[in-house]
Structure 1
Amino acid sequence: MTKAPAQTICFEDLSFRPRFEYGDMAQVNVVSGTEMGTKLGTGFARFTKAAIPWTVQYDEVVLVLSGQLTARTKDSVLTAGPQDSIWLPKGTELTYESEDALVFYAIEPANWAEAAT
């Protein structure tokens, strides 16, 4: 696997795209992943009036940049505001909830969808 060279990714150049069937509630832009030759997946996500059920298929850290994001699990309610992070280990069943948030995420492995098939 050949790694991409070091580079700057400018936020203003990113193009957010709908995420899965929840495109009206979540849009993402991938910053790094397998296309750059790395196991580390990173990107930005926007949540708007979101209530998205999910089972995390990777280890994930979510850093809230603006707004507030809640990850509601069967055991707890994890809420983060600007400059707060949420750690989510693989296998966590949750619902992402937010009225309006911009987050940066890091996941490992980046190719989780390929590994699940």
Structure 2
Amino acid sequence: MAVTTNYKPKFDSNNVKDFGPARIEHRTAASELTQLGTYLMTFDGTEFSDPWTVQYEETIYVIEGQARFVVINGENEESLVGDPDELLVLPKGTTVQYGALPGTRLLLSIAPVNWRDAGV
């Protein structure tokens, strides 16, 4: 059986979606990864996304700019700021609003990437 692993996934505009004030690209969409998904996110504005409760474990590496998230826990809101070369962690079940300075670039990894199919 031949393995057709894509070791160096390339940009594909079909894998880019708008996400509130940002664009997010699922870079590993065409790879054979079944548990881990890697995304690149670029912010154009200073607004925040709608609140989202993550259904997976997520790490966010700040490539450039400044990430500015709001973590929501019931009635409490906490600011989470990430500067270049910092890693942010969002455990499964975290409710967050994603935001950043314009031009900010983030690398996101989530597991499991197939959370929708897994009935999570």
Q: Could you tell me the TM-score, scaled by structure 2's length?
A: 0.76
**Do 2:27 and 2:40's aligned partners in 1 also have CA atoms closer than 8 Å?**
yes
User: How many angstroms does 1:9 deviate by?
Assistant: 3.3
Q: How does 1:54-69 map to 2 (within 5 A)?
A: 54-69=52-67
Deviation string 1:19-52 (CA, Å, 9 cap, x unpaired) is 35x3xx2212112258524210112111222301
**Do 1:70 and 1:78's aligned partners in 2 also have CA atoms closer than 8 Å?**
yes
Distance change (3 Å), C-alpha of 1:3 and 1:83 = farther
Q: Larger Rg: 1 or 2?
A: 2
Q: Tell me the SS of whatever aligns to 2:55.
A: coil
List, as ranges, runs of 4+ consecutive aligned residues in structure 1 with deviation greater than 6 Å: none
**Do 1:56 and 1:92's aligned partners in 2 also have CA atoms closer than 8 Å?**
yes
Q: Tell me the SS of whatever aligns to 2:98.
A: strand
Could you list the runs of 5+ residues in structure 1 that have no partner in the other structure?
Answer: none
In percent, how many aligned pairs have the same letter? 28
| Among 110, 113, 118, the residue aligned to 1:110 | 113
**Structure-2 separation of matches of 1:6 and 1:86:** 27
Tell me which protein shows more strand as a share of its residues. Answer: 1
**Structure-2 separation of matches of 1:3 and 1:43:** 23
User: How many angstroms does 1:3 deviate by?
Assistant: 6.8
**Do 1:54 and 1:93's aligned partners in 2 also have CA atoms closer than 8 Å?**
yes
Q: How does 1:16-27 map to 2 (within 5 A)?
A: 17-19=16-18, 22=20, 25-27=21-23
Distance change (3 Å), C-alpha of 1:86 and 1:3 = farther
Asked if 1:28 is matched to 2:24, the reply is: yes
In structure 2, the residue matched to 1:8 is: 8
Distance change (3 Å), C-alpha of 1:27 and 1:3 = farther
Q: CA RMSD in A?
A: 2.5
Q: Could you tell me the TM-score, scaled by structure 1's length?
A: 0.78
Asked if 1:90 is matched to 2:92, the reply is: yes
**Do 2:9 and 2:31's aligned partners in 1 also have CA atoms closer than 8 Å?**
no
Tell me which protein shows more helix as a share of its residues. Answer: 1
